[in-house]
Structure 1
Amino acid sequence: MVASIALPRLMRIGAGASRLLPEVLGQLGLSRPLVVTDPFLAGSGAVGTLTERLSAGGISARTFADTVPDPTVASVEAALAALQAGDHDCVVGFGGGSPMDTAKAVAVLARHGGPMRRYKAPHLQDEAGLPVIAIPTTAGTGSEATRFTIVTDESSDEKMLCIGLAYLPVAALVDYELTLTKPKRLTADTGIDALTHAIEAYVSRRSNLFSDGLALQAMRLIAPNLRRVWTDPGDRAAREAMMLGATQAGIAFSNSSVALVHGMSRPIGAHFHVAHGLSNAMLLPAVTAYSASGAIDRYATCARAMGVAKAGTGDEAAVEALVAELRALNDDLDVPSPQEYGLDAARWEALIPTMAQQALASGSPGNNPRVPGAEEIAVLYREVWAG
């Protein structure tokens, strides 16, 4: 089998990488960016610092700072209107997954038109939109290096997965210093999101030698450092490891795929507005326990890469240690169950058939080592309800 590999054209990784934005734009022949970001980063002064640096480099930028968590069709259209109001040749996504996903969607719509629903999977959008430069401020989504974006259709409460080379940023500036002030809850949720990306990329039916190496290295970086950054947000070495691990996990799953955790996670986010990383964390232990029999050797390798099983440990014992570690990680990082989070029990139960069908329709469960049907997914939703 020939693996199809796609990466950003340019990557700058390390302390201060975000300060190289003017230089990178010049290398790409771009000079009129729209910076897409969120209200928090705009209010914190981070966006002002970014645009001042551009101005000092002779680049005039405009800013759209009204992205929302889990981008919606309406929020993407608002960003598109901001872009169309100026003369822009590229989009800079500055923030967590939501600003970067918004920037990707806007870049495609600007060149190819809407509606957004036209682009949801299984549609493949390889024809390029405007160039996207991604600057992540969280160590989690890996969106700076993936060929995916996700937009929620408010009319149907569906998280639409959009796939194609058009969503792959041309450049990624990965600066761990931007994560030093992240709050604990965001640190935990995005960190487990990145760990989920690495595990699912490795056990996916679409894994390959290229993605395998990155996925395992991401696990080696994330697993020993996630509790460290939770305990000490200013731990620079741990923050650097988490940021690199999240990017490597993003590259890994972008060049293989995610699987059942993500398929089940997206409907939770769409219907209950639970942050994506948090819903992944809620699901990861139970889905791993369910899936392990489909690729016990691969899950055992994950356990060894994460340091929770020794090299000589048998596969079954290693998988047991992996599931136990994922449960312990949720406990240590105060990850709530859906019930503990305060979701409505009757609504959860009533929506299970819809969520199961939406999970299957995304295609992600089909990449899982153990491929479930709708009823098995429903059982898992009921299992994770109370943790």
Structure 2
Amino acid sequence: MSAIFLPRAMRIGAGALTELPAALAQLGLRAPAILTDAFLAGSGALDRVLGILAEAGMEARAYSAVIPDPTVASVDAAVAFVQGGDHDCIIGFGGGSPIDTAKAVAILAARGGTMRERKAPHQENVPGLPIIAIPTTAGTGSEATRFTIITDEANDEKMLCAGLAYLPVLAIVDYELTLTKPLRLTADTGIDALTHAIEAYVSKLANPFSDGMAIAAMRSIWPNLRRVCEQPGDRAAREAMMVGSLQAGIAFSNASVALVHGMSRPIGAHFHVAHGLSNAMLLPAVTAWSAPAALGRYADCARAMGVSDSGEGDQAAVARLVEALRDANRDLSVPTPKSYGIDEARWTELLPLMAEQALASGSPGNNPRIPDAETIQALYRQAWA
């Protein structure tokens, strides 16, 4: 038996942003608080959203101080902003950080308490304010997931918070919002989406519904990942990446992620590496280590991505998959932790804590091959250089 969770409504495609007022009205919503970041506020993108809403007679207030990797303090500041107005919903406009912030704020502004008390394995299912997600990156899939990640700055821990309460009621998925994304962000968010699809497919919680979404996502993402980096204005490639990212988000929201994500979060928390980039740093090594426990599943991934043909055996297909992931990191200039500039002494010193935090997240328990703390430290060392 599988339980499947999806946003109530999704509007997908070029120009979907212009349908925001109609989509809100359909849900009986009229007074959104928009949470976004300084870049989108400065680039004119936020003004465009406010203009679309104003034209439809909808009063919105905007908060543009969302930070990358939102912290307890940054979420509290956004909660205070929302409580200072009369709002019936929260819009997260941007990449994963504004959407994750919106999810946390929707609960805290309505019901109070802290994110620490809502950390996994706790399940937050009673809804707060309705959440609307408008992604501007093709990567996190957060517009379709029942998860948010908030960093507790007191101990540098990225807290995974899960439950139906974090699932947006509406997702506006307009690939035109990604056309101006810089190269590094395009590459890192693209690999993030690919990681979501692969991990959802090999997860111990995978099911036929999530499998279909994960395979479709890999078919969309892999052939277009280099293309969007080389030709940023390629609309067809941008659309494929945006749809693939959404499908991957749906897949992992209904099957969970695994070891790559469990290990990735502590790198982000301690060294402030962007989430997609820390996933990319780990994906080849973790895939190579995990694959013997689920050769057939990883071989399916290789075939869906087109790096192996249907006539090839599982072992050979998986070897091609690992090689293809390493090649992608090289071609897209994904740094190692070492070349990124992380201090080796501090990296080594933090390995036991990072391994402990990775295991505590619960994600490694969904991996086809379940590691102990010692193995996780060994994989971190392997990824270092």
Q: How far, CA to CA, are the matches of 2:83 and 2:193 in structure 1? A: 33
Quote the residue 1:235 is aligned against.
234
Q: How far, CA to CA, are the matches of 1:348 and 1:18 in structure 2? A: 42
1:247 maps to a residue whose letter is L
Superposition pairs of residues 257-336 of structure 1, within 5 angstroms = 257-336=256-335
Q: How far, CA to CA, are the matches of 1:210 and 1:173 in structure 2? A: 22
Q: How far, CA to CA, are the matches of 1:18 and 1:294 in structure 2? A: 43
Q: How far, CA to CA, are the matches of 2:102 and 2:64 in structure 1? A: 11
Deviations 1:339-371 (A, max 9, x none): 000000000000000000000000000000000
Quote the residue 1:45 is aligned against.
44
Q: How far, CA to CA, are the matches of 1:174 and 1:115 in structure 2? A: 30
Q: How far, CA to CA, are the matches of 2:222 and 2:199 in structure 1? A: 15
1:55 aligns with 2:54: yes
Quote the residue 2:86 is aligned against.
87
Instruction: Specify the SS of the correspondent of 1:302.
Output: helix
Quote the residue 1:184 is aligned against.
183
TM-superposed deviation, 1:115: 1.5
TM-superposed deviation, 1:180: 0.3
Deviations 1:22-66 (A, max 9, x none): 011100001110000000000000000100110110100000100
- C-alpha RMSD over aligned residues: 0.4
2:173 maps to a residue whose letter is V
Q: How far, CA to CA, are the matches of 1:10 and 1:122 in structure 2? A: 27
1:314 maps to a residue whose letter is G
Quote the residue 2:26 is aligned against.
27
Q: How far, CA to CA, are the matches of 1:19 and 1:40 in structure 2? A: 21
1:263 maps to a residue whose letter is G
TM-superposed deviation, 1:100: 0.2
- The answer to which of 105-114 and 259-268 deviates more is 105-114
Superposition pairs of residues 1-387 of structure 1, within 5 angstroms = 2-386=1-385
TM-superposed deviation, 1:18: 1.2
Q: How far, CA to CA, are the matches of 2:155 and 2:18 in structure 1? A: 40
TM-superposed deviation, 1:111: 1.6
Deviations 1:87-138 (A, max 9, x none): 0110000000000000000001112212211111011000001000100000
Equivalent residues of 2:338, 2:384 under 8 A apart = yes
Deviations 1:146-182 (A, max 9, x none): 0000000000000000000000000000000000000
1:25 maps to a residue whose letter is L
**TM-score under structure 2 length normalisation:** 1.00
Runs of 4+ in structure 1 deviating by more than 3 angstroms, as ranges, are none
Instruction: Specify the SS of the correspondent of 2:256.
Output: coil
Instruction: Specify the SS of the correspondent of 2:65.
Output: coil
Q: How far, CA to CA, are the matches of 1:75 and 1:166 in structure 2? A: 20
- The answer to which of 109-118 and 364-373 deviates more is 109-118
Q: How far, CA to CA, are the matches of 1:312 and 1:369 in structure 2? A: 24
1:296 maps to a residue whose letter is L
2:271 maps to a residue whose letter is F
Q: How far, CA to CA, are the matches of 1:3 and 1:333 in structure 2? A: 37
Q: How far, CA to CA, are the matches of 1:142 and 1:367 in structure 2? A: 19
Q: How far, CA to CA, are the matches of 1:328 and 1:49 in structure 2? A: 39
**Structure 1 unmatched ranges of 5 or more:** none
Q: How far, CA to CA, are the matches of 1:291 and 1:284 in structure 2? A: 10
**TM-score under structure 1 length normalisation:** 0.99
TM-superposed deviation, 1:244: 0.0
Equivalent residues of 2:214, 2:251 under 8 A apart = yes
Q: How far, CA to CA, are the matches of 2:382 and 2:370 in structure 1? A: 17
TM-superposed deviation, 1:320: 0.1
Q: How far, CA to CA, are the matches of 1:118 and 1:129 in structure 2? A: 16
Deviations 1:360-387 (A, max 9, x none): 000000000000000000000000000x
Equivalent residues of 2:115, 2:161 under 8 A apart = no
Q: How far, CA to CA, are the matches of 2:360 and 2:287 in structure 1? A: 20
